[in-house]
A and B are shown apart, each in its own frame.
Chain A
């Protein structure tokens, strides 16, 4: 590899560069070392130690660079090179403010999950594999964060999907886990195909995939006569590229497809609930905090390349996803499913944030969400762990008893048994629900403010339907309060419903106790990070948080963008800020009131929830089945695909191959016809003449010969035919 340039925004610092590379590589080294050593004992501690090192290095780099400048370094990876062209594909490391934030989040949560898994996964057979893939995942995720061009992002993007596949399918003997892993990867691939199309479009217009270069070139391109025009540098000259302006929007939407897959947006969000088949710490790390956030991160990375149309689509998709998933979260039985739908919903918020131009707010929400959602998952993991322990203890006496350890119908009242876990859970729940004073309030408020500013922006006057985004956003926010409240009540309040189903458990209830310290520490840290003051001293002002202060909204350069848009949005945010803050508080209170009305602790709903059956009524069913999307995909689309595959296979054998066979048979048939012709017509005539001549022969006294005379007739006919052919 060759040094191309050393164009760092700050003075090129070799040791920071080295450390950044180390941050990226350490988890990979950890994964390889774990595989090579192959020992269960070593793997968990080795993985955790390496992650600790990674995290500490990240903190170091973060402190050195945050608010100081970006680090950017490129190396040549490979080149298509000849006399007339030179296309370079580079590997680049870009540690700007955005990636610094993500770096911190990813390495911290990954560390905590490593730590948490030491106890949680202790009994697992495939522990080596678990830690190895966890390390590999962290490597891939950090790769996405640190990459400076779309090709490298795409590569790590796919690797993240691959590690997710391995982790979701960790319990590969479980049919559902294997299916969920497959589903996750395939659906992500659909998104990635779109991502690839986006990359193709940008490549064909700009001849590069470098994000900084793309930013510059996007600024230099322009729309003229319905065409998107750009000048592509060749070896010695420029090539003018002119393609219909629609491709600009399609490029943005293509890249967005990647997000739709990875961040589980409508219409590809169906894989995420299934992915809960993986171990719970994995859900916390991958399917709540990091990988699914990568889509949002990608949108932020390519934010400057998106035009108005694609952003509008993005905003709508985000809002719709947020709303749909929030509805689904209200009626799930499975504690992890509730959290999964909640994750989808929150991701929808973030995507909506990007769509409305509230770039910094979306990232802010990404970070706060990473902490509180990871916390929720880890505490949910603790609950499952505790209940599983109870199940094991019970099984020592009653081996035939099994129950679903994640089922909310059997929970309740765990507050008393798991007080610390409950505390962490409560803090995180407050954060996600948007209780003022907690991080979630700050970030969600910022996104809603952005949405408000956007829908009321003078650049969009007359587009009343933009308010729909706002409406869906608010509705989702209210629903968040409701489902979180429900989850809290069903898990921690009231009395435990398990003994109502299995009376024998009562005698073993002492086994239900708080989880080990090592499993308490990570959620506690995450809960601490979900408190508002960690981010902002002003409990009502997300915009004053250090995150949003440190992140400047990049100036969009896309041709066709209204010039005043970004200024107007900024003004709008200022104008609407206090109004929306009050509205957010109102939402929280309103949501709480509704939730209390239905689910209040000790109420009928919670105490009889163990009797809950399949939901009845259209709305309940719609919610429980997540708008029947899954049924639509697996029942209709996947089946159609398989049917089509069978059709092609049928076609291959019955049609294409049949043509071949037919030709082959036609040969033989033709051969038979020839033979038949010789045998029947020729010989027939011969026989006829033979007969005739034998009659004649009897008269004339000659014998035999008749057959031959007719051969002669045949040949005569042949010659006559040739003559006739010549004549006519």
Chain B
């Protein structure tokens, strides 16, 4: 069972999607319950993964060491002969480390909550849940894939269900929003595609190449000595190009010894592209590609539109999971493969982070549509992730991953809140309501909790995340000189803005005398229904739990973050020194 856990969590929903195809579209209830059951099954599988995952200080932690990934599943998939270039090997390679396991847990939870929220879908139910489950599987695949090709497949494939979910079940401007979403993210993934191509052409799989070169008979026999020997031989040009096995394995890519000497992405390569090292360009390509998904200002304008038009559960999934794929991609590919880029461009990344925090915050302050406000607050909160990552410090990166999880939960809550109102009145304009606390007291309690959780009140998960990010971002100036101190200080403005737009909204919409723009709302605005409690309660409990017991989460990520920090601060700096020496020559 454990051997195939990861595949199960990816393919169970895909299989479920096929079953849904087989159910007649009139059987709406069975379709809905099946989808919920399958997402629940995904939670159980995620729970299994969590329980099997080795935690603690000595646990293998992945990142750039392949052996240190857990629950590995590896199977050859595509092997292409590229003639004089050697061969190309694409594998079905999934595994977890501390960073991805948190995302898998998050995705399972949010998908389940989203499925419950999808009960309100009334039209084209079959198609909806088919796409929803499709999305569910691909999202998991994205977080688990360690083969770049596989990752890219899932990453791209995610676009389609999302496009149709927004475009078919969305609001009035859904077509515009869905196309914008699609084109934007496709533009991003083109950057990732070019990075992927340039990477696999430069990188070999040392074990498989050792087999080709006759060092060993079988890949399984490869020891670390063999690999080092092979890498040494390759450095000395003793390996024939035709014998090289190019790989998409992201972990192999993270080892600069696996880069073919003289290839453009070799650390020692001296050829420049437009005055900059190829490695740095490719880092930027990856970063931009994922920054669109994240989204970082100024690449964010698809987000408000997509969110406003998407139906509630899709917004939940979009904010809860899909944005995290952007951040996850930056960690998994850009930072792990090109740590020198993380060092070289830390200023830029940090700057985009604080730009997102402040720009997103101010925009949220100006919004009149509740959902748009929440969308911009997402931009601001994901800005914290960038800031934390840019710092390259233990606190900053731990905080960034914490924020990814925390924002996943809190943003889900926030979009559900917007959904509750929209479902009742089909109106989300802040100024059209007042004094909702009188009408819907329990809903107001949920809103207060969610808003305060989002603005980073201690006790909720967001506080731990943002606190760590602040410490890390400021500390970077002392530890590794990646960020200037003023960035962390300026970012604290985000805290004030967060308080401002949330509390202003609370005051305008929920407090004061009751007022609804339409008299008919009097009867429509009823307090939460049981099914809505079922959605909110787990999220509230989770954000409180993570706010009070951070160690639970940190036990998972600590070792991986430690490796990533070392990777950035040692390998990254060494590589950068080598590269910059060439540039200056």
Contact = CB atoms under 8 A, between A and B. Distances in A.
Contact of B301 (A162, A178, A239, A652): A652
Nearest to A180: B507
B500 A154 contact: no
A182 B503 contact: yes
Interface string A446-473: 0000000000000000000000000000
B301 A657 contact: yes
A257 B263 CA distance: 55
Interface stretch (B192-200, B248-256, B486-494, B571-579): B486-494
Nearest to B560: A82
Contacts of B365: 641-642, 645
Interface string B359-383: 1001111110000000000000000
A179 interface: yes
Contacts of B488: 197, 200
A159 B459 contact: yes
A222 interface: no
B551 A78 contact: yes
Given A80-B561, A186-B496, A196-B492, A645 B452 contact: no
A175 B488 CA distance: 36
Nearest to B361: A645
Nearest to B494: A193
A392 B231 CA distance: 91
B287 to A, nearest CB: 19
Given A82-B558, A645-B365, A660-B301, A192 B495 contact: yes
A83 B68 CA distance: 15
B363 A204 contact: no
A193 B513 contact: no
Contacts of B363: 645, 648-649, 652
Nearest to A203: B471
B512 A162 contact: no
A652 B301 CA distance: 7
- Which of B57, B512, B549 has the most chain A CB within a 10 Å cutoff? B512
A179 B434 CA distance: 13
A309 interface: no
A154 B458 contact: yes
A175 B468 CA distance: 36
- Which of B463, B496, B563 has the most chain A CB within a 10 Å cutoff? B496
A165 B448 CA distance: 11
B459 A175 contact: no
Contacts of A204: 471, 474-475, 477-478
A398 interface: no
A633 interface: no
Contacts of A159: 457-459
Contacts of A646: 366
B565 A155 contact: no
Interface string A185-201: 11001101110110111
A158 interface: yes
B394 interface: yes
Contacts of B506: 178, 182
Contacts of B92: none
A569 B338 CA distance: 58
A85 interface: yes
B9 interface: no
- Which of A162, A193, A664 has the most chain B CB within a 10 Å cutoff? A193
A162 B547 CA distance: 16
Contact of B394 (A82, A154, A165, A200): A82
A333 B299 CA distance: 54
B438 interface: yes
B182 interface: no
A104 to B, nearest CB: 25
B398 interface: yes
B443 to A, nearest CB: 14
B550 interface: yes
A200 B470 contact: yes
A165 B504 CA distance: 13
A646 B561 CA distance: 39
Contacts of B495: 189, 192-193, 196
Given A158-B457, A205-B478, A656-B298, A193 B398 contact: no
B72 to A, nearest CB: 22
Interface string A140-168: 00000000000100111011001001000
B492 A78 contact: no
Given A172-B437, A173-B511, A82 B561 contact: yes
Contacts of A205: 478
Given A241-B478, A642-B365, A645-B362, A162 B457 contact: yes
B511 to A, nearest CB: 3
Contact of A84 (B463, B513, B566): B566
Contact of B500 (A79, A155, A165, A186): A186
Interface string B445-484: 0000000100001110001100110110011011100000
A175 B437 CA distance: 12
Given A82-B561, A84-B566, A85-B394, A185 B499 contact: yes
A185 B301 CA distance: 30
B500 A641 contact: yes
Interface residues of A, number: 61
A78 B554 contact: yes
Nearest to A646: B366
B510 interface: yes
B559 interface: yes
A77 B503 contact: no
A435 B566 CA distance: 65
Nearest to B301: A657
A201 B304 CA distance: 36
Nearest to B558: A81
A169 B437 CA distance: 12
Contact of A85 (B457, B511, B550, B562): B562
B435 interface: yes
Interface in B372-429: 394-395, 398
A169 B458 contact: no
B298 A182 contact: no
A700 to B, nearest CB: 53
A186 B457 contact: no
Contacts of B512: 172-175, 178
Nearest to A156: B458
A186 B558 contact: no
A583 to B, nearest CB: 42
A85 B500 CA distance: 37
A80 B366 contact: no
B562 A648 contact: no
Given A173-B438, A178-B507, A243-B478, A648 B366 contact: yes
Contacts of B558: 79-82
Given A186-B500, A652-B363, A200 B463 contact: no
Given A159-B459, A645-B363, A173 B562 contact: no
Nearest to A659: B298
A87 B394 contact: yes
A711 to B, nearest CB: 34
B499 A80 contact: no
A201 B488 CA distance: 10
Contacts of B470: 196, 200
Nearest to B180: A660
A645 B395 CA distance: 31
A277 to B, nearest CB: 12
- Which of A179, A205, A243, A645 has the most chain B CB within a 10 Å cutoff? A645
A497 B566 CA distance: 76
8 contacts: A79-B558, A81-B554, A82-B559, A173-B435, A182-B503, A193-B495, A203-B474, A204-B474
Top 8 closest pairs, chain A to chain B, by CB: A82-B562, A178-B511, A649-B366, A645-B365, A155-B458, A645-B366, A200-B474, A193-B492
Given A197-B474, A197-B489, 17 more contacts: A78-B549, A154-B458, A155-B458, A158-B457, A173-B437, A182-B504, A197-B488, A197-B492, A203-B475, A204-B475, A204-B478, A642-B365, A652-B304, A656-B298, A656-B301, A657-B301, A664-B183
